[in-house]
Amino acid sequence: MRRALVCGAGGFIGGHLVKKLKAEGYWVRGVDIKPHEFAPTAADEFCLLDLRDPANCRAALSLDGHSFDEVYQLAADMGGMGFIQAAECEIMHNNALININMTHAAAGMGVPRYFFSSSVCVYRDMKPGEPEMTEAEAIPAHPDNEYGWEKLYAERVAMAYGRRYGMAVRIARFQNCYGPEGTWTGGREKAPAAICRKVAEVEDGGTIEVWGDGSAIRSYTYVADMVDGIFRLMHSDLEGAVNIGCPQYVTVDELVDTVCRVAGKRVHVRHVPGPVGVQSRNFSNARIYSLGWQARVFLEEGIGYTYPWIAAQVEKARQVGNREWKDGRRRTEDR
């Protein structure tokens, strides 16, 4: 039986990747600084470890009498654009430590195959209508945020260790990923989850606030497609970074319209100042397409899976809030 270590298994993509590996017949150890917030882990073993500590990286890789065939490094301090701009120092510090320590430990302990989750945040801003950008065009580098700079550095770290230690390194640059069981509130959520939450919270005919003027262009990749791309890439001969993303590009306003259609609501949008990030994205998927991968779930279908889950979380939170309010009122009346 093949053995895999998933770092960041308590997170959104990591949690879904564990399920994918189990379905493929793997024995899986998951590692994270926290348990999965929304679902019991599917991992055979789950360890709470802070991977900023080199000793914890070695502990994560230690397996009595066996070694891991594959390591998937998705652990990161990350969130949506608001978090990326507000926590740039924490992102640079925490993620650099995680990636340096885990790559060093994996190479030193003889891991044969190592996956690193990078991001399209490594690329410069693009203007609408520009031709597709290939992986090689990340250099000369000009990311618009520190998260992207750290990801680019961590790619170089992984490739350097791969060369020296003979470790097969596979790197995916993720486009925006969404789906059920992801962060949907609290400041770390990304645009699809944030819009789903806002629409779920408002009454039909109500108003939601959206950062920016709504014209920013993005691609959103459903999580099942993303983990399929990760798995295909890991078992391929493709070296260097590989973009993984859905080829459907929409504006933020079009994303809002899609969520409203799925929700069956008419919602007014108030555009307000806020962190937006780059104006446009348009990336080549030719390398991942060469492995037979294609996005199967496009935006309306994916939101159809995601919105009901987030709406259910909103309702649960509302019920908890109502109970807490009632309990507080009873305690006040009892005095």
Looking only at the bridges linking them, the beta strands covering 168-174 and 217-222 are: unpaired
Using CA atoms, how far residue 235 sits from 175, 179, 196, in Å, is 20, 24, 34
Other CB atoms within 10 Å distance of the CB of residue 317: 14
Active site residue 222: no
The residue type at 233: L
Catalytic site residue from 26, 72, 123, 147: 147
How would you list the strands of the sheet with 168-174, edge to edge? 45-48, 27-32, 3-7, 70-73, 113-119, 168-174, 241-244
Strand partners, 210: 271
Alpha helices, H only, the chain: 12-23, 54-61, 81-86, 88-108, 146-165, 191-201, 223-234, 252-263, 286-289, 299-334
Going 245 to 250 to 253 to 254, the CA torsion angle's sign is: negative
List Cβ neighbours of 329 (8 Å cut-off, separation of 6 or more). none
Q: What are phi and psi of 168, to 5 degrees?
A: -70, 115
> Which 8-state DSSP code applies to residue 122?
G
Catalytic residues: 147
